Structure 1
Amino acid sequence: MADKQISLPAKLINGGIAGLIGVTCVFPIDLAKTRLQNQQNGSRLYTSMSDCLIKTIRSEGYFGMYRGAAVNLTLVTPEKAIKLAANDFFRFHLSKDGQKLTLFREMLAGCGAGTCQVIVTTPMEMLKIQLQDAGRIAAQRKLMPQAVSPGGPVEVKSPTAMQITRDLLRQKGIAGLYKGLGATLLRDVPFSIIYFPLFANLNNLGKKGAEGPAPFYVSFISGCVAGSTAAVAVNPVDVIKTRLQSLTRGSQEDTYSGVTDCIRKILHNEGPAAFLKGAYCRALVIAPLFGIAQVVYFLGMGEFILSFLPKRSD
């Protein structure tokens, strides 16, 4: 990777294709993760991922599992493209004369990739979380009237991404879309620091020769293992980020002023185990997401597409 100039447009296309395929496959599990993480003591509707998905289908239909998918599918292309291309970019420029990167430099490249991606990740997840959690809030107000204000249950209309965006921009400006930016950085930077070096080293173990690429199934398995490991490692911060970015809550649910306040209230009211809510769902989301991403990425679909474009003659 370091012995030749990387093709940024190809990497962006690869990341985009990978993101679209991956999100389509695992989005219902991601919805269950968000709803499980947002549950607080006294307002529990779901006991597990399967219970959440079954109740979602019963109350909202099959497509209820894909609430917020349009936002994710729209923004996951630049998000995944930036993440993967930035890691390649930093690895390329941190390498010395084509020599193998040290572990520290691999982690530094991952840190750079995680920092770059939050430009898109924060507003994408801000909108996605509101849409994913709308069904939980509506069900809570219907089935658990004690969790609502004294006036009784209130009908909750499902917002659209555009409505949420307009309201946030009107009330808080661009900062409204970037609520939870600090928590997103605290999640995505460590995730990338863990994921990219772990993937690179696992993938290298499966190479048949010193120069040739690893078989696609090795890239897939390496992506799954590295992704699930990193996802579980940063799940406590993902819980904090999800709670901070959720705008609508039941009357018995805590609100938070920042990361420190969120940590303190979760520890006091729910205990340390609450930081692992949705961990297995997140692992099930991230494993295939990054496994698919790395297969698409290493197959070079972007390079294949660009090969059909006419080349400029300078």
Structure 2
Amino acid sequence: MSSVASSSTGANTSAEQRNAGPSPGLLVFRRIIGGTVGGVCQALCSHPFDTIKSRIQAGVASSVSECASSTLKNEGLQGFYKGVIPPMTICGFYNATLFSANQAARNLVRPNDLPPGADLSLPRVALAGIMAGPACCAVVCPVEVVKVRLQLQTKDAAKAEFHGVWDCVKKTVQREGVFALYNGYSALLLSRTIGLPFYFGAYEVTKQAVQGPAAPGQPAAPASSLTALLAGTNAGWAFWTACYPCDFVKTKMQMQPRGTTSFVKVLSDTVKLHGVRRLYSGYGACMLRSAPANASVWFAMENTIAWMGRNGW
């Protein structure tokens, strides 16, 4: 009798463990791997659009079509991929940091009566997004500085100020000090603090609208491929719409030597000289870039996580 009870108890415990889903630590590990894979896909898909956005923000061109045609005519296809090495090499690391930090934050804000990986309320999703901001900004700011300065070079290679990524890093540090690589950090952090709650919130809302919420007390299943593409696109659009003016100011700050300007000065000068609409210069290019960039990163990450789950990782 006792052996039957013991066997029944063991079976119930095993079933409860399966229903509880992966541990909090395993969820973070899966986000590290999934974010890395997603980041590489994102960089390959989005960099041409990012180049156009940065050039319009800097005033090199006034529209998406003008910038695209002049870049193709004067520099060829490779012109769209100027500065691609920094995001290619670190975009995976950045997304691994962003998604794992967000998952760690979700673990912290999750109510005790919910299992790890369960759907959270929208306010908790937004709070976890805000908490992920400082970690991802620390990783991405130096990359953004180098990328922006390389993207804004439209002259031929012989006349270019920087000849590659490491030359840009070396000259920037020599002239302005190592902290120049964190030029525009305040604007970047503000943009992420504003944008990330919309980013993760829009993804969750779209995901649950398409495939429904998880059963009460159960961990959420990974999004299907179609859901990830749709929700990722909406997440990117929500993020950039919310924080685009801050990103505009950040780009302007990163173009300048460290200490020569500030967030408030760039913002006030821009509005005074050009009006509020100038803060959304390049918004169209950003939306074009955002769709493939964020659809690809979520698609790759969700499928990587699903594969890891099927294979016992």
Q: Answer whether contact 1:10 1:306 (CA < 8 A) is retained.
A: no
Structure 1 gaps, min length 5: 40-44, 140-153, 249-254, 310-314
Task: Name the CA distance, whole Å, in 2 between partners of 1:74 and 1:30.
Answer: 16
Task: Name the CA distance, whole Å, in 2 between partners of 1:304 and 1:201.
Answer: 24
1:47 CA displacement: 3.2
97-106 or 234-243, larger mean C-alpha shift: 97-106
Amino acid across the alignment from 1:50: S
Structure 2 gaps, min length 5: 1-18, 216-220
Q: 1:14/1:167 Cα in 2 relative to 1: closer, same or farther (>3 Å)?
A: same
The answer to whether 1:87 aligns with 2:102 is yes
Amino acid across the alignment from 2:146: L
Q: Answer whether contact 1:206 1:214 (CA < 8 A) is retained.
A: no
Report the structure number with the largest CA radius of gyration: 2
CA deviations over 1:236-294 (Å, ceiling 9, x no partner): 1111000000138xxxxxx9610110011101211111001111211222222121111
Task: Pick one of 9, 15, 19 that aligns with 2:29.
Answer: 9
**TM, length-normalised to structure 2:** 0.82
* Aligned counterparts, 1:21-36, within 5 A: 21-36=41-56
Task: Name the CA distance, whole Å, in 2 between partners of 1:266 and 1:282.
Answer: 19
1:179 CA displacement: 0.7
Moved over 6 A (4+): none
Q: Answer whether contact 1:56 1:65 (CA < 8 A) is retained.
A: yes
1:155 CA displacement: 4.1
1:169 CA displacement: 2.4
Q: Answer whether contact 1:12 1:302 (CA < 8 A) is retained.
A: no
The answer to whether 1:216 aligns with 2:225 is yes
Aligned residues: 282
Amino acid across the alignment from 1:244: M
Match of 1:260 in 2: 264
The answer to whether 1:204 aligns with 2:208 is yes
Amino acid across the alignment from 1:33: K
Task: Name the CA distance, whole Å, in 1 between partners of 2:237 and 2:164.
Answer: 31
Structure number having the greater helix percentage: 2
Amino acid across the alignment from 1:17: V
Match of 2:238 in 1: 229
Match of 1:277 in 2: 281
Q: Answer whether contact 2:222 2:306 (CA < 8 A) is retained.
A: no
Amino acid across the alignment from 2:101: A
1:50 CA displacement: 2.0
1:209 CA displacement: 6.8
Match of 1:117 in 2: 136
Q: Secondary structure at the match of 2:62?
A: coil
Q: Secondary structure at the match of 2:47?
A: helix
Q: 1:193/1:301 Cα in 2 relative to 1: closer, same or farther (>3 Å)?
A: closer
Q: 1:10/1:47 Cα in 2 relative to 1: closer, same or farther (>3 Å)?
A: same
Task: Pick one of 70, 81, 84 that aligns with 2:85.
Answer: 70
Q: Answer whether contact 2:31 2:99 (CA < 8 A) is retained.
A: yes
**TM, length-normalised to structure 1:** 0.82
Match of 1:304 in 2: 308
CA deviations over 1:109-144 (Å, ceiling 9, x no partner): 000112210011100100000010011xx38xxxxx
Q: 1:157/1:209 Cα in 2 relative to 1: closer, same or farther (>3 Å)?
A: closer
The answer to whether 1:171 aligns with 2:180 is no
Q: Answer whether contact 2:222 2:305 (CA < 8 A) is retained.
A: no
1:208 CA displacement: 5.2
Q: 1:214/1:301 Cα in 2 relative to 1: closer, same or farther (>3 Å)?
A: closer
Q: 1:109/1:54 Cα in 2 relative to 1: closer, same or farther (>3 Å)?
A: same
188-197 or 202-211, larger mean C-alpha shift: 202-211
**Aligned-CA RMSD value:** 2.6
1:49 CA displacement: 1.1
Q: Answer whether contact 1:228 1:283 (CA < 8 A) is retained.
A: yes
Q: Percent identity?
A: 23
25-34 or 92-101, larger mean C-alpha shift: 92-101
